Structure 1
Amino acid sequence: EDTLLYVVARDITSEREAALGLAEANTRLREQINERERIEAALQQMQRLEAVGQLTAGVAHDFNNLLTVILTGASFLERDLAKANLDKARTRLTHIREAGERGAKLTSQLLAFSRRQRLEPVPLNLNRTLAGLEELLSRTLGGNVSVRLDLDPALWQALTDPTQTEMIILNLAINARDAMPDGGQLTLTTHNTRIDTRPQRPEDPEPGEYVMLSIRDTGCGMSEDVLAKVFEPFFTTKDIGKGSGLGLAQVFGFAKQSGGGVRIDTVPGRGTQVAVYLPAVKEQAMSEPAVPLLRQSVSDSGRNRTVLLVDDDHLVRDMLGDVLRQYGYQVRQAHSGEQALALLDGEIDLLLTDFAMPEFNGAQLALAARDRYPHLPVVFLTGYAELQGLDLPGSVVIQKPVQADELARVLNEMLGIAG
């Protein structure tokens, strides 16, 4: 009996090539997506650097003015004291102190901007935020842009992230400044508003009650074509290297994530107004805690107490040593963590140390000191925004520059001394 064998053959070369081609295309697409994400991340970093660069230029200019007052004032002060001209000397000292206080305020604002952590939205008084930024904006924007505030005194609170809000205001102000190359006026306005219409564009807020913050310039304005693309990431009207095109995309993302929206009104040659809508919190603002009228007396709080003072900057160390002795403390001074450990014994009542020191920082010193004396009170001094990963019970952190009476008050509390 014959066996029949059927053989079916099919050429699958083209199908195999198609499948390989599809896999290659898929790989290429994935690579393109990865590359786009990498470019977006790089451009966002550029945007941050651009804002910081603008800020730094304004701040450097202002610090040079402050240092001029301090350095020139100090040299004149020496001359006044040599001539025993005490009235002039007092005036110089007042000017020097005022310049120092302005510098301290400026650095505290810079540190607020430098904080990297993601903060949660909280009820915020935008009037207070803008009033606090007014000086910084005036400096950052340069001498030919005047800054005006038009604030609603009955403003509701806005539910928003405070640091992000400040960054958005700064970005919009820098955009406005760039639209006014020959100078002009920047007006920051706040008021309460209710939106009843449905959103017409993606950036519009939903119906509801909002706090509106607007930034208006008297600059070159935008055409309809530009306005249609203005919220697209990487779209920019600025020259190459002058802008990443992320400013308004960032504002749009921030407003939407906050539960609000953005609107732009602009007329070519007449100026632009960017309005940011943030969700309103209509409850009355918490009243500020009352400041006690009677300050605790700290004039002789350090009697028979010994402080180990550690700072690698000899000018700061000597100055703080004088402050502590003025309040009656015995002081041992060290310029490094290693030297401090050599001076540490049972007579030390409190460790007062700078945080950022080379090789052996304040945290490492505190831990080593606690190994020997587990209940030693520790006070950290820092010039930075926050101390990463520091959680030491029985310690407190003070921001530099510190006022003498504030330092004495903190030491009082740490040592449990009655005033």
Structure 2
Amino acid sequence: MSETSSQQAQIDLMQAALDHISQGFSVFDADLRLVAWNRGLYEMLDLPHALARRGTHLEAFLRVNAERGEYGPGDIEGKIQRRLERAARFEPHYFERVRPNGQVIAVSGTPLPQGGFVTTYTDITAERRRQEKLERTVAERSRALQQSEDWLRLVTDNVPALIAYVGSGPVFRFANRRYADWFGQSVASIVGRSPAEVLGPDLYAELRPYIEWAFEGNAVSYEYSRAKPDGELAYMRSTLIPDMTADGRTLGIFVLSLDASDQKRSEAALVQSQRMDAVGQLTGGLAHDFNNLLAILTGNLLSLKRKGAAVSASDVEAHLAPMLQAAQRGADLTQRLLAFSRGKAQDVIDTSLNKVLDNTATLLAGSLPPTIRLRFEACTDPLTARLDPSQLETALVNLVFNARDALPDGGEISVSLTPATLAAKHAVAAGVTPGTYARIVVRDTGHGMDDDTRMRVFEPFFTTKPFGTGSGLGLSMVYGLAKQVRGSVRIESAPGEGTAVILLLPARLSASGTGSRAADAGGPLPHGAGELVLLVEDDPAVAETVAQQIKDLGYTVLTAEGAADAADLAADVGEIRAMLSDIVMPGQMNGLALARKVRGLRPDIGIALMTGYADLGEGGAGETGACSAGGDTGFPVLAKPFDSRKLAETLKAIVSP
């Protein structure tokens, strides 16, 4: 075979290979004349086969395309000329051309070193159709998603609840309009911010343990209070639900908060109703105690009267000691009953649970029939919990009365307090978080209850008592107290085996100690040096008694029966150094208003108030009932009746030099 024949065979073989390529292929030389091509070029572009010969100028191909509208309408010659000029520059190029029949051709040209270029033509119609379909699908789904988000936003913004989602970080990923407004944010500004930034340092410090517990995969419920812009205190009840994967990872937490202010007010009314029901049941026992106290007072006074002038100093002392003890006992009972019945709302405070048990024992003394034995077992360790002490006292009183009703033939009731440290396993079983708890158990030896009753006793208004004899609120109030402080309550009972109500309250062991007042109780009384004290008391007998107490302490006393006279005396008598006024007095001006008026007239006069009411007017006495800040009054307040030490210390504190 000749060399020419061999070269031709190789060219034919190469041409056959090119013809089997799915793409179109062409090579033009430096003069823009066709050098090589394949069959796919002509089939893909529907070109006349007459052009399939070497030496065909690029213009011929362009003219065919232009005349059949491949380049769109307009000047054919101008379109051809512009394309020839671009080709003559021999620059790399890529473009996609949509043919009139809808076919999409990708054209890619690469220049050759000696001039000319190689061009490939690819039919990408199917690819573009798939891409367009995908883009339409994405657009449709985006519209649907946006519509879904708009609907979600519309729904959540109109639901009367605060709704949010906190992602890992933690940072807010979503919040509805009410949630954003509650924290002074916009829906857009709250996203991406941390809870510490949104909640503020104080509230975040309070809620942080709940947030961390929820991110550990636990559903959490809690309450908190926050002042509105107008200063009113609002109560929120929140639930955190973890957003967890199948393998147990927590991606974030869903937040749902409801305004519980109205509910808190309703609960307070229900608790007050239950408290007053308990007061009614306490009345009989307290009346018995007061009759005993009156018997002590009357008996000793009659004895002194019979002895007359023959009475000795030792006899007087022997009769006075039990009388003073009886009077103090009566004052304590009165204060406790008034405080219990009023149930003055207060924030949770650090409360000695042993003291709550002592107060409850005092309230219940003599209130049960003689066939029932009541035992209180205080804790040997000083346990402290953050709660409303009056609410816990009410709960314990109602539990004891429930136990009493289960003992128609008599028996025993015990109230015990012990510390308990719960590990994770036992805490989960009790429905609380691990930690230290106070365990209060109210147990009776009564008839017990069956399972159906035991499962329903915490329902509001459910009662097993005859119609009209029970409100059905006692145990539901106990349940509310336990949940409010993140504790729990459960009942152990069976027919014929008695009942035990077990309260678990978060607590801590605190150091026990006595106040400085107790330490100084045996010291000498502080006396005055003749300073003039204005006493304002509308009851002449009380005024005479208190005036004598003040004189015995080394002061001079000026007495006024009403607020108007006292104000005039304070303004006119410059020697007055202090004023002690009752809060509740007849007329348009009470003791507190008088104190404020005198403070304006004579800022140099020391002022203290006294009252026989449990809430002490607008303020409140300290734990001992002696000199205190007086709550909102701004003045020290003495709780009637008071002894000479409390009066002496108060006067010493207010008398100006």
User: Is the shorter-chain TM-score for this pair beyond 0.5, marking a shared fold?
Assistant: yes
Structure number with greater CO (CA < 8 Å, separation at least 6) is: 1
Give the match for residue 227 of structure 1.
454
Give the match for residue 348 of structure 1.
576
Give the match for residue 346 of structure 2.
119
Aligned counterparts, 1:218-367, within 5 A = 218-282=445-509, 284-285=510-511, 287-290=513-516, 291-293=518-520, 297-298=524-525, 301-344=527-570, 345-359=573-587, 360-367=589-596
Q: What amino acid sits opposite 1:338 in the alignment?
A: A
In 2, Cα distance between the equivalents of 1:328 and 1:145? 51
1:61 to 281, 285, 288: 288
The number of residue pairs the alignment matches comes to 377
Deviation, structure 1 residue 293: 4.9
Instruction: Provide, for residues 345-404 of structure 1, a one-character-per-residue CA deviation record: whole Å limited to 9, x for no partner.
Output: 2121111111111113111222332343233211101112232277555x3111111111
In 1, Cα distance between the equivalents of 2:521 and 2:313? 32
Q: What amino acid sits opposite 2:643 in the alignment?
A: Q
1:139 counterpart SS class: coil
Give the match for residue 177 of structure 1.
404
Give the conservation status (yes or no) of the 8 Å contact 1:260–1:278.
yes
Out of 249-258 and 156-165, give the one that drifted further.
156-165
Give the conservation status (yes or no) of the 8 Å contact 1:80–1:86.
no
| Structure 2: 5+ residue stretches without partners | 1-262, 620-630
In 2, Cα distance between the equivalents of 1:85 and 1:50? 49
Give the conservation status (yes or no) of the 8 Å contact 1:124–1:162.
yes
Q: What amino acid sits opposite 1:317 in the alignment?
A: A
TM-score, normalising length from structure 2? 0.53
Aligned counterparts, 1:334-413, within 5 A = 334-344=560-570, 345-359=573-587, 360-384=589-613, 385-388=615-618, 391=632, 393=634, 395-413=635-653
Give the match for residue 110 of structure 1.
337
In 1, Cα distance between the equivalents of 2:646 and 2:352? 27
Give the conservation status (yes or no) of the 8 Å contact 2:577–2:604.
no
Distance 1:295 1:321, change over 3 A: same
In 2, Cα distance between the equivalents of 1:232 and 1:128? 29
In 2, Cα distance between the equivalents of 1:410 and 1:55? 33
Q: What amino acid sits opposite 2:361 in the alignment?
A: E
1:191 counterpart SS class: strand
Instruction: Provide, for residues 20-65 of structure 1, a one-character-per-residue CA deviation record: whole Å limited to 9, x for no partner.
Output: xxxxxxxxxxxxxxxx999988765542321121123322222122
Give the conservation status (yes or no) of the 8 Å contact 1:119–1:163.
no
In 2, Cα distance between the equivalents of 1:294 and 1:179? 44
Give the conservation status (yes or no) of the 8 Å contact 1:205–1:262.
no
Give the conservation status (yes or no) of the 8 Å contact 1:265–1:273.
yes
Give the match for residue 18 of structure 2.
none
Distance 1:303 1:89, change over 3 A: closer
Give the conservation status (yes or no) of the 8 Å contact 1:106–1:136.
yes
Q: What amino acid sits opposite 2:304 in the alignment?
A: L
2:366 counterpart SS class: helix
Out of 78-87 and 39-48, give the one that drifted further.
39-48
In 1, Cα distance between the equivalents of 2:265 and 2:650? 47
Give the conservation status (yes or no) of the 8 Å contact 2:421–2:436.
yes
Distance 1:141 1:377, change over 3 A: same
| Structure 1: 5+ residue stretches without partners | 1-35
Give the conservation status (yes or no) of the 8 Å contact 2:489–2:502.
yes
Larger strand proportion of the pair:
2
In 1, Cα distance between the equivalents of 2:427 and 2:547? 65
Distance 1:95 1:146, change over 3 A: same
Give the conservation status (yes or no) of the 8 Å contact 1:353–1:381.
yes
1:100 to 327, 341, 361: 327
Q: What amino acid sits opposite 1:226 in the alignment?
A: T
Deviation, structure 1 residue 90: 3.1
In 2, Cα distance between the equivalents of 1:41 and 1:223? 30
1:237 counterpart SS class: coil
1:278 counterpart SS class: strand
1:54 counterpart SS class: helix
Q: What amino acid sits opposite 1:278 in the alignment?
A: L
Q: What amino acid sits opposite 1:63 in the alignment?
A: F
Give the match for residue 15 of structure 1.
none
Distance 1:212 1:104, change over 3 A: same
Deviation, structure 1 residue 337: 1.4
Answer yes or no: is 1:146 the counterpart of 2:373. Answer: yes
Q: Aligned-pair RMSD on alpha carbons?
A: 2.9
Out of 384-393 and 37-46, give the one that drifted further.
37-46
Deviation, structure 1 residue 198: 6.5
1:333 counterpart SS class: strand
In 2, Cα distance between the equivalents of 1:216 and 1:382? 39
In 1, Cα distance between the equivalents of 2:434 and 2:446? 31
2:276 to 49, 57, 62: 49
Q: Quick one: percent identity of the two aligned structures?
A: 38
Distance 1:310 1:68, change over 3 A: same
In 2, Cα distance between the equivalents of 1:387 and 1:194? 41
Give the conservation status (yes or no) of the 8 Å contact 2:533–2:556.
yes
Distance 1:54 1:311, change over 3 A: same
Instruction: Provide, for residues 276-314 of structure 1, a one-character-per-residue CA deviation record: whole Å limited to 9, x for no partner.
Output: 0001324x4364444555976446x32231111111122
Deviation, structure 1 residue 271: 1.5
Deviation, structure 1 residue 336: 1.6
Distance 1:377 1:154, change over 3 A: closer
Deviation, structure 1 residue 242: 0.9
Deviation, structure 1 residue 207: 4.8
In 2, Cα distance between the equivalents of 1:352 and 1:37? 38
Aligned structure 1 segments of 4 or more residues deviating by more than 6 angstroms? 36-42
